[in-house]
Structure 1
Amino acid sequence: MISVEEALGRILDHFQPLPAETVSVNEAYGRVLAEDIHARLTQPPKAVSAMDGYAVQAADVARVPADLTVIGAAPAGNPFGGRVGPGEAVRIFTGALLPDGADAIVIQEDTEASGDTVTVKESCAEGHYVRPAGLDFKEGDPGPRAGRALTARDVGLIAAMNHPWVPVRRRPRVAILSTGDEVVMPGEPLKPGQIVSSNGIALSAFVRACGGEPIQLGIAPDRSDQLGALAAGAKGADLLLTAGGASVGEHDLVQTALQKEGLELDFWRIAMRPGKPLMFGRLGETPMLGLPGNPVSALVCATLFARPALHRLQGRREPAHPVEPMVLGADLRANDRRQDYLRATISTDGEGRKVATPYVTQDSSMLAMLAAADGLILRPPQAAEAAQGSLVPVLELRSLAEGL
């Protein structure tokens, strides 16, 4: 068995960022930038009003009350064409260009209008409620950087910077193949000994959450020829994920069946729990990651190995495994030679610290527990006993779905 770190390193050696493509800014949410974005204009282009009120010369309202003559109006998008002189004011609205000659905005709540005259009841200084040119950004200023998965905020900024089209990495195409005579799709009749297949559906959702496009190849029965025929559908994909058939039983056929189809095996079995029977290789030009058939093991291994691969394919800069220290909520016994990933809940104590409490039962068949878990406590091989209240590294599962 090899270590988790060695396995991940050997997997990532097979992946490079995919080519870029151009999409509409309306379609850019969640995509990964292929190039840095810079502003194509200055925002605001000139000084504008930050409030509804009156554009004035600050010197005219240094002493109040002050009566000023209203010489016009400046709605947003329709600038006032004249100039504000001493003793004059222009009715102005939020976002409208500041008229020439004016240097301050008096908000309407501090005024009283009567015909062509406005009485200012509160004084203000030069620049009051004025947004100067370039307050938000200037032409050439940097925006979101390459390698960032775009949020709604990013997309808004890119649009404001006057980019109708955005260069992004192509989405990774991930073929998914489940195996086993014992599994059937949800809703189908169950024969004795059969179980409902969740791996393919869960892995499709996982791939989408990681920015990829899943390609469902179906469920291969425990027959070498049919498994190989279905796996052929992965040709042209950026990654093939198989679930099941990676262990040591005589019906665990993925390795032998795919080797007949040209699989070049890199490694098989890693020192971790859950997920020991994990394998990796290449089927033709397609990297292949063989996940365990146990749904919990499959998802944990996908998190630890498929997610970083999909990050690399998209050129993402942020870490695929955002691990942080948290307070341990229960005692842990010493670990053996396999790296453990303990399902845990995460809460906050009275001091505002995150507390990770492992479930008492860590059986890898319990998908409901994984669905309810907030994180995975990482226990290195041969880790000593850990007492409640000590710090442990935790991979917070919630964070994996955020930031898109």
Structure 2
Amino acid sequence: MINYDEAYANVLRYTFDFGVETVALLESNGRILAEEVLADRDFPPFDRATKDGIAIDSKALEKGLERFKIEGLASAGMGQQQLHDFHHCIEVMTGAIVPENADTVIMYEHVTIADGYATLLQEARKGQDIHVQGSDVVLGTVLLPRNSRIGPAEIGILASVGKSEVQVRKMPKVCVVSTGNELVAVAETPLPHQIRRSNALSLCAALQKEKIEAFSIHLKDDKASIKKELDHLLKTYDVVLLSGGVSKGKFDFIPEVMESLAVQKVFHRVAQKPGKPFWFGIQPELKTVVFSFPGNPVSTFANYHVYFLPWLYRSMDIEIPKTEVVFDGTLQVHPPLTRFVQVSTENKKGVLWASPVRENGSGDLTSLALSDGFICLRPRDKAYEKGELVPYIST
């Protein structure tokens, strides 16, 4: 049995680059950008009026003019207009190109309009209410670096530079496997000795958040059928996520089957709670990675977030989130087990506090709905006390 830090480091040793694909702009939402995106023009691409009002030449202000004849109108979408006389003005709408020979915009609230003239109601300042060309970014500026996660704001930026198609990192093909004779389909009414399948669906839902549509299959506790199915799955998928079948029971066939299929065991059993029986390995010829989690719901859920997500982020070449919270409790964590404790969080004056969630062991599925994540408490002689900073894994 190895400790948590050794297990974590070993998992991250076996990450892979799954390549790049091109998808439609909206399909890239939530994906990882595989290209550097540059500004294809200045932003904004012209001096832009930021208010509805009039545009003037500031030389008129220097000469003390307060009344201007209206020459014309400029609206968003029109080509640039020209101010022919600095004694005059042009009405402009928000988003319009500032007219040639004009350098100041005065909003309607600060003028009166009558008989074809605009009269100032208060002092104006040269250059006001103009979004100057290139003041955001200039042509060629990196707007989105490679390996950015694409969200709604990034979609807008990509659209603004004409990216109707986007290069994103390919996600791994993942199969989620549940095992156990006691499990029945969600729609079935379980007998007293049965329970409905939940772990596989929780994993599939978690993977959907990462834009991975996983294939899911359930296997009965039969060694021959497990071997046959896993042989096929290992050849078909990049990652196999299993729930159950890795403890020391007489029907926990996964470690034995993996060995028979030439899957190299990296480790089996970790000094942690929940999830001690966690098995991790790789089929080196196929480069298929296998995460085999214990079957208890909290164990499966915790190990997915503690190990699989960092593995995925490292494979995507993006930063693994590192967060600390303030512990709002007291807990003794005796060696040798690292504890992953379910917590609810509360923001108190800009500081995130984490309180342990009351739960009834790793089989208590309902407790997961009450928690926001897990804190990671390594074993030590001294108890963890209220006010300590501790690592936090959001779920």
1:342-361 matched pairs, under 5 angstroms: 342-349=341-348, 352-361=350-359
CA distance in 1, matches of 2:80, 2:91: 9
Q: Which residue of 1 aligns with 2:377?
A: 379
CA distance in 2, matches of 1:144, 1:251: 51
Please tell me the residue identity of whatever aligns with 2:345: I
1:165 & 1:215 partners in 2: Cα distance?
26
Residues 305 and 393 in structure 2, CA contact (< 8 A), matched pair in contact too = no
8 A Cα contact 1:29 1:151, kept in partner: yes
**For residues 123-134 of structure 1, what are the structure 2 equivalents within 5 Å?**
123-134=123-134
Q: Which residue of 1 aligns with 2:235?
A: 235
Q: Counterparts of 1:164-203 in structure 2 under 5 Å?
A: 164-203=164-203
Q: How far apart are 1:360 and its partner, in Å?
A: 4.4
- Cα deviation code 1:1-50 (max 9, x no counterpart): 11222112222222122211112222211010112211111122221111
Letter of the structure 2 residue corresponding to residue 319 of structure 1: I
CA apart distance, 1:120 = 1.9
CA RMSD of aligned residues (A): 1.9
Report what 2:273 is aligned to. Answer: 273
Deviation at 1:79, TM superposition (A): 2.8
- Matched residue, 2:304: 302
Structure 2 counterpart of 1:273, one-letter code: K
Report the alpha carbon displacement of residue 352 of structure 1 after superposing the two structures with TM: 4.5
SS in 2 for 1:271: strand
- TM-score, normalization by structure 1: 0.92
Structure 1, 28-37 or 256-265: larger mean CA deviation: 256-265
8 A Cα contact 1:65 1:122, kept in partner:
no
Query: 2:365 corresponds to which residue?
Result: 367
Aligned position for 1:223: 222
Write the distance in 1 (CA, Å) between the matches of 2:279 and 2:65.
81
Greater Cα offset, 73-82 or 196-205:
73-82
Note if contact 2:306-2:393 (Cα within 8 Å) is conserved in structure 1: no
Q: Deviations over 1:177-206 (max 9, x none)?
A: 100000111121312311111011011111
Aligned partner of residue 113 in structure 1, secondary structure = strand
Q: Is the 8 A contact 1:42 1:137 kept in 2?
A: yes
Deviations 1:79-127 (A, max 9, x none): 3433342211001111111111111001011122123222222221111
| Counterpart residue identity of residue 54, structure 2 | Y
**Distance in 2 of aligned mates of 1:11 and 1:236:** 21
- Partner residue in 2 for 1:395: 392
Q: SS state of the match for residue 307, structure 1?
A: helix
Question: 1:28/1:348 Cα in 2 relative to 1: closer, same or farther (>3 Å)?
Answer: closer
- 1:78 Cα deviation after fit: 0.7
Q: Is the 8 A contact 1:62 1:124 kept in 2?
A: no
Q: Provide, for residues 252-279 of structure 1, a one-character-per-residue CA deviation record: whole Å limited to 9, x for no partner.
A: 1111123323322221101110000011
Structure 2 match to 1:70: 70
Q: 1:314 aligns with which of 306, 316, 333?
A: 316
Select which of 283, 287, 290 maps to 2:289: 287
1:225 is matched by which residue type in structure 2? Answer: A
Return 13-22 or 49-58, whichever deviates more.
13-22
Moved more, 96-105 or 162-171: 162-171
Question: Cα–Cα, structure 1 residues 310 and 384, in superposed 2: closer, same or farther, change >3 Å?
Answer: same
Moved more, 157-166 or 128-137: 157-166
Deviations 1:193-252 (A, max 9, x none): 111110110111111223323111x11000011112222234231211010001001011
Question: What residue identity is the alignment partner of 1:303?
Answer: H
Which residue type is aligned with residue 293 of structure 2? L
C-alpha distance in 2 between matches for 1:140 and 1:34: 18
Greater mean alpha carbon deviation, residues 16-25 or residues 78-87: 78-87
Counterparts in 2 of 1:82 and 1:63: CA distance versus 1, 3 Å? closer
| Whole-Å separation in 1 of the counterparts to 2:15 and 2:358 | 38
In 1, are the aligned partners of 2:325 and 2:354 still within 8 Å (CA)? Answer: no
SS of 1:229's partner is: helix
Shift of 1:176: 0.8
Q: CA deviation at 1:66?
A: 1.9
8 Å CA contact retained: 2:31, 2:149: yes
In structure 2, C-alpha distance between the alignment counterparts of 1:72 and 1:359, rounded to whole Å:
67
Q: Per the alignment, in what secondary structure is the counterpart of residue 204 of structure 1?
A: helix
Percent identity of equivalent pairs? 25
Give the number of aligned pairs.
Answer: 392
Give the whole-Å Cα distance in 2 for the aligned partners of 1:188 and 1:361: 27
Matches of 1:99 and 1:84, distance apart in 2: 10
Which sections of structure 1, spanning at least 5 residues, go unmatched? none
Return the letter of the residue paired with 1:311.
Y
Q: Secondary structure at the match of 1:289?
A: strand
- What is the rounded CA distance, in whole Å, between the counterparts of 1:115 and 1:253 in structure 2? 91
Change (3 A) 1:130 1:346: same
